Amino acid sequence: MNALGRHILVEFYDCSPELMNDVVHIENSMVAAAETAGATVINSTFHHFSPYGVSGVVVIQESHLAIHTWPEYGYAAVDLFTCGDSVDPWVSYKFLKEAFKAGHGSSMECRRGQLDLLKRNDFNIENMRDVSPKPPEVEGAITRDVWFTERDENIALSLKHSGNQLYKKDSPFQRVEIYETLAYGNMLTLDGMVMCTQKDEYVYHEMITHVPMFSHPQAKRALVIGGGDGGTVRELLRHEQLEEVTLVEIDELVIEACKQYLPETAVAFDNPRLNLLVADGIKYINECADGQYDLIIIDSADPVGPGEGLFTAEFYQQVYRCLTPDGVMITQSESPRFNSGVFVEIYDTYKQIFGQDKVHCYLAAIPTYPTGTWSFSYSSKGESHPLKFNREAAAEFSVAKGLKYYNEEIHTAAFALPNFVKGLLKTNQK
């Protein structure tokens, strides 16, 4: 070969859209394509983007293989670059075409570094190689960097995972996936959006439950809409005063996945005080009798997919009807910074239904949610107020139950809102 390297520019068409959005399959295929061609793999780095698309590169001793996919078009753009004569990039091309189930492909080969145009410099390569000490190497070891990325047009969160996707199934409602992340443990995602992780789920679940339970100590019957991961009912059932907790989750695959891979979160599904229903939460609320529940928690995903119907005035009117005269509704109410439009809209809706002075916002820090700042709403049908609570009982409970986030001081502090949040709500919350 009269060049330093061979570079094949590849386009794969009519690929499986499913495979083009599967970061684990693509990373494994690209590594295998390099190895099948006889290359020595050094490192792989791959990102999955939300809602779809994968980018990545496999660094080989002989150069690299790179890819970006457009699942919505069943299309992949691939670069296969090899140096020297030891690796045939066309072997990788054939391997990937089959791995991606491509209908057809097009390619163009370029010879890089034409030898007749190059002049070799006169320097001692061996001395240069000895300048820096080499780190210890494990023969055959590959550094693999596989990333999950949740993003929109303006912001992104990336988490590195092991490349081992523990669970992936499509229900009639959404795609349910669990990844093994390196920093946050196992992570549940729905349609590419982070729902919870093993390392920080306690923040969300403790704040959505213990704030209302200590503000409304007479509560005996609680209803949770959504929350199939089990964290919310786990925290509620720590309170012995509750005689019954009903969980209505529309997607049984969420329950299945979390029982298997988030067992600490899904630990309470066999509790005798839990009434677990796999059903449509909207339908359940519409058919619920008046005044049935002291506490209703809307543990919904974001206002898309199966959770979209949980963000309507009609739904909240039905929730209000189902509460006892002194009942309380709690919702997750999005990030005031990331999703300020929805944040403002839903609080306006709550105030129209419950009353201007009966709706309160509180915040918590959740690292794996967009911006890290997340909000919850406390809406009271009666006279219950979130800052009129038994501090001593909350303090004792926090210690006795080994809570990781909630305590009596956090309870109070969570309702101290930054000025920009007050501005969005147009309130001087006290």
What domains does the chain contain, in order, with CATH numbers?
3-133 (3.60.90.10), 201-425 (3.40.50.150)
Average pLDDT over residues 205-230: 96
Cα 221 versus chain centre, distance: 30
Instruction: Establish whether 306 is an annotated binding residue.
Output: yes
Q: Which of 61-75, 78-92, 114-128, 221-235 has the lowest mean pLDDT?
A: 114-128
What is the pLDDT, as a whole number, of residue 3? 85
Q: Which of 144-153, 200-209, 277-286, 381-390 has the lowest mean pLDDT?
A: 144-153
Tell me what pLDDT residue 305 has: 42
> Binding residue per annotation — 302?
yes
Strands 54-60 and 41-49: antiparallel
* Residue 24 burial class via C-beta count within 10 angstroms: exposed 0-12, middle 13-18, buried 19 and up: buried
Please give the average per-residue pLDDT across 84-95, as a whole number.
92
CA 308 vs. chain centroid, Å, equals: 17
Residue 131 clears pLDDT 50, i.e. is over it: no
Q: What is the mean pLDDT of the chain?
A: 90
User: pLDDT value at position 309?
Assistant: 53
Per-residue pLDDT tens digits for 305-361? 444 556 689 999 999 999 999 999 999 999 998 888 889 999 999 999 999 999 999
DSSP per-residue codes, 338-405: TTHHHHHHHHHHHHHHH-GGGEEEEEEE-TTSTTSEEEEEEEESSS--TTSS-HHHHHHHHHHTT-SS
Q: What is the pLDDT of residues 22-44, one digit of tens each?
A: 999 999 999 999 999 999 998 89
How many CB atoms lie under 10 A from the CB of residue 136? 5
Instruction: Look up residue 115 and give its DSSP letter.
Output: G
Average pLDDT over residues 95-115: 93
Q: Identify whether 161 is a catalytic site residue.
A: no
Identify the three-state secondary structure at position 18. Answer: helix
The CA dihedral of 233, 239, 245, 249, to the nearest 10 degrees, is -10
Q: Which whole number is the average pLDDT over 85-101?
A: 94
pLDDT band, residue 199 (cuts 50/70/90): very high
Is 300 annotated in some ligand binding site? yes
Instruction: Determine the average pLDDT of the residues in 200-211.
Output: 98
Distance CA 122, CA 288 (A): 85
Euclidean distance between CA atoms 258 and 260, whole angstroms: 5
Residue in 299, 360, 379, 384 annotated catalytic: 299
Average pLDDT value for residue range 205-227: 96
Q: Is 22 a catalytic residue?
A: no
Tell me: is residue 301 an annotated ligand-binding position. yes
Q: Is 382 annotated as a binding residue?
A: no
Which pLDDT score is estimated for 307? 46
Q: How confident is the model at residue 132 (pLDDT cuts 50, 70, 90)?
A: very low
The answer to whether the CB of 380 falls within 8 A of the CB of 358 is yes
Residues 137-144 have a mean pLDDT of 62
> Is residue 89 predicted with pLDDT exceeding 90?
yes
Torsion-angle region of residue 20: left (phi > 0), alpha (psi -120 to 50) or beta? alpha
Question: What pLDDT is attached to residue 363?
Answer: 98
Q: What is the mean predicted confidence (pLDDT) over 62-85?
A: 94
Q: Of the ranges 5-9, 159-163, 164-168, which one carries the lowest mean pLDDT score?
A: 159-163
User: Is residue 48 annotated as part of the catalytic site, yes or no?
Assistant: no
- The CA distance from 277 to 247, in Å, is 6
Mean predicted confidence (pLDDT) in 103-129 = 78
pLDDT of residue 136 exceeding 80, the answer is no
* In the predicted structure, residue 121 carries a pLDDT above the cut 80: no
Tell me the per-residue pLDDT of 249-258, one tens digit each, with 9 for 90 and over. Answer: 999 999 999 9
Average pLDDT over every residue of 189-202? 94
Q: Consult the annotation and say whether 170 binds a ligand.
A: no
Give the span between the Cα atoms of 75 and 98, in whole angstroms.
Answer: 14
Q: Exactly one of 15, 83, 288, 361 is catalytic; name it.
A: 83
Q: Which of 14, 16, 50, 68 is catalytic?
A: 68
Catalytic residue among 29, 44, 63, 92: 63
Specify the pLDDT at position 308: 53
Burial class from Cβ neighbours inside 10 Å (0-12, 13-18, 19+) for residue 281 reads buried
The residues pairing with 49 across neighbouring beta strands, listed in sequence order, are 149
Check the annotation: does 22 bind a ligand: no
pLDDT at position 426 is: 86
406-416: average pLDDT: 98
Q: Is 63 a known active-site residue?
A: yes
The lowest-confidence range among 50-54, 58-62, 142-146 is 142-146
Rounded to an integer, what distance in angstroms lies between the CA atom of residue 179 and that of residue 107?
34
